[in-house]
């Protein structure tokens, strides 16, 4: 295609550079689109009869995304149009807290459904299977904590808040097996599956899959298309019709104050008169540093969202859910370069009526994407009560320590082997660990601690050691920091 493109473009340019090029690019776009439609039909023929209808619905969503991908070029925002959001469009959490609880809490809670994204695998931390099944505290997994939180809510207020899990083809089977253990808990649990989209070759812009199967050689050919897929998948599942309905503000996004560790997180702006989520992928290269600035954009999106279910239904049926495309390049195990077309759930904010941001305290945002994050939530920095983790009252300042564990700790299995027990971190500000380092039992870390084992060296922090403002280097010398 690339040779054909170059030859044709030269011929067209000889006639009328602009008009000819536009016409040629339109023909090329149509050719890519038609080739894609042909390949998708071939794939559908290979689907099992029980899965054919679901796959066809998935492909309808993918076709729309692919069509837009071929038409859109460059960043999707005009930087000059970006304004700070109006003061009243981002409300402080404290203002809501002061209002107190309504007289009948149960009737308010019975309008609520908790939806958790459960499509991800813990691959970045070296795990197989759903990330939600990683143990966090006392053998409790992320899923256990979620169920405990909602069960506590239902028991405390005599309510019936359901838990809805959006699984993916990667996590559905394992999750359904584990859900049997919650049969006697006071939480109704529903599941539905995210769409399954084909990864496409960067060169040919065609699917790399040869059939609809998920066998070993075909497994890498498919992907769940980002959390923005929740709207279409939730609608297609039929679950939306079973959920409680209410009007008013249709979309609330919890945001929190940016720190220097959060510079890549999406932020809220005013754009064309609407509150809008701005992601780093949409920012023109010349303005990326400005976007990362903590002074200009002071808050970022935590992805804790409160969304009206009837509004989701209305917008989906009108095909009015407007989300920017995220092009995510990947390299498969065999070296093939592919692209995944994705969307982000928060990007649909501008499609809803009366959207609002709530600036919440950092305590409501506790992401675990790496083993460095996992170390924090497993430590005595947090107390656990009814599935909720809260900062220990024994910690004298409310910020979390900055933890950077090296590549020897990336996989959960290796991480657990390197800690005989999780250190006391109540007075820790900063921890950097690099190289072959292990920690004995009951180690205490305070202030700034940097431990660096040079290549070929190994550092064993002895049981009961107390390191406060120390640098431990490859030759095991301990120096004051």
Annotated binding residues for substrate, written as ranges, equal: 227
What's the token pair of residue 377? 């939530």
Structural contact between residues 131 and 121, judged by C-beta atoms closer than 8 angstroms: yes
The CA distances from residue 158 to 99, 107, 150, 153, 305, in Å, are 22, 10, 11, 8, 24
Structural contact between residues 445 and 424, judged by C-beta atoms closer than 8 angstroms: yes
Structural contact between residues 312 and 235, judged by C-beta atoms closer than 8 angstroms: yes
The CA distances from residue 311 to 217, 249, 289, in Å, are 41, 10, 36
Structural contact between residues 250 and 348, judged by C-beta atoms closer than 8 angstroms: no
How many other CB atoms are there within 10 angstroms of residue 78's CB atom?
Answer: 10
Strand, coil or helix: 200 = strand
How many other CB atoms are there within 10 angstroms of residue 72's CB atom?
Answer: 12
Structural contact between residues 125 and 134, judged by C-beta atoms closer than 8 angstroms: yes
**Does residue 73 carry a catalytic annotation?**
no
Cα 407 to Cα 395: distance, rounded to the nearest angstrom: 28
Which has the closest alpha carbon to 222: 75, 58, 48, 380?
A: 58
Cα 159 to Cα 187: distance, rounded to the nearest angstrom: 10
How many other CB atoms are there within 10 angstroms of residue 141's CB atom?
Answer: 17
3: which residues sit within 8 A by CB, 6+ positions away?
Answer: none
Helix 49-71 vs helix 17-45: crossing angle, to nearest 10: 170
Which helix H or strand E contains 469, and what residues bound it? strand 466-472
Alpha-carbon Rg for the chain, nearest whole angstrom, is: 25
Q: Which of 247, 296, 330, 369 is catalytic?
A: 369
Q: Which residues are annotated as a binding site?
A: 227
Cα 373 to Cα 405: distance, rounded to the nearest angstrom: 9
Q: Specify burial of residue 3 (Cβ count, 10 A radius: 0-12, 13-18, 19+).
A: exposed
Report, as residue numbers or ranges, the catalytic residues.
369
């Amino acid at each position: 295609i690339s040779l054909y493109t170059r030859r044709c473009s030269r011929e067209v340019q000889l006639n009328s550079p602009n008009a000819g090029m536009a016409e040629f690019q339109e023909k090329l776009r149509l050719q890519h689109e038609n080739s894609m439609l042909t390949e998708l039909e071939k794939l559908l023929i290979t689907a099992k009869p029980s899965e054919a209808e679901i796959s066809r619905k998935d492909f309808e969503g993918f076709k729309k995304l692919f069509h837009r991908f071929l038409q859109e070029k460059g960043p999707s925002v005009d930087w000059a149009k970006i304004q700070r959001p109006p003061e009243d469009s981002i409300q402080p959490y404290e203002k809501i807290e002061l209002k107190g609880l309504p007289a009948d809490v149960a009737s308010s809670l019975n309008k609520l459904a908790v939806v958790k994204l459960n499509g991800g695998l813990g691959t970045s931390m070296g795990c197989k299977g759903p990330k939600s099944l990683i143990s966090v505290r006392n053998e409790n997994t992320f899923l256990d904590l979620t169920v405990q939180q909602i069960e506590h809510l239902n028991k405390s207020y005599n309510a019936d808040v359901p838990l809805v899990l959006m699984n993916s083809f990667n996590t559905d089977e394992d999750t359904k097996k584990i859900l049997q253990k919650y049969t006697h808990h006071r939480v109704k649990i529903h599941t539905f599956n995210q769409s399954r989209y084909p990864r496409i070759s960067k060169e040919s812009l065609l699917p790399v899959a040869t059939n609809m199967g998920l066998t070993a050689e075909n497994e890498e050919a498919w992907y769940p298309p980002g959390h923005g897929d929740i709207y279409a998948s939730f609608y297609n599942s039929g679950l939306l019709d079973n959920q409680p309905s209410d009007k008013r503000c249709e979309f609330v996004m919890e945001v929190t104050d940016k720190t220097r560790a959060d510079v890549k997180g999406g932020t809220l702006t005013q754009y064309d008169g609407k509150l809008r989520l701005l992601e780093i992928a949409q920012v023109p290269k010349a303005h990326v540093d400005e976007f990362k600035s903590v002074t200009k954009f002071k808050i970022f999106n935590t992805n804790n969202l409160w969304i009206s279910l009837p509004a989701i239904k209305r917008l989906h049926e009108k095909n009015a859910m407007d989300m920017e495309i995220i092009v995510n390049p990947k390299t498969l195990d065999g070296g093939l370069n592919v692209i995944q077309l994705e969307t982000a759930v928060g990007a649909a904010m501008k499609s809803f009526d009366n959207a609002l941001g709530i600036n919440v305290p950092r305590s409501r945002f506790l992401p675990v994407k790496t083993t460095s994050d996992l170390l924090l939530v497993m430590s005595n920095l947090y107390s656990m009560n009814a599935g909720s983790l809260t900062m220990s009252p024994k910690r004298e300042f409310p910020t979390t320590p900055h933890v950077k564990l090296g590549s020897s700790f990336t996989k959960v299995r290796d991480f657990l082997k390197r800690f005989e027990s999780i250190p006391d971190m109540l007075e820790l500000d900063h921890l950097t660990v690099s190289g072959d380092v292990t920690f004995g039992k009951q180690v205490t870390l305070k202030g700034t601690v940097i431990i660096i084992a040079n290549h070929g060296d190994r550092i064993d922090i002895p049981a009961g050691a107390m390191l406060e403002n120390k640098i431990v280097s490859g030759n095991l010398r301990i120096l004051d920091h």
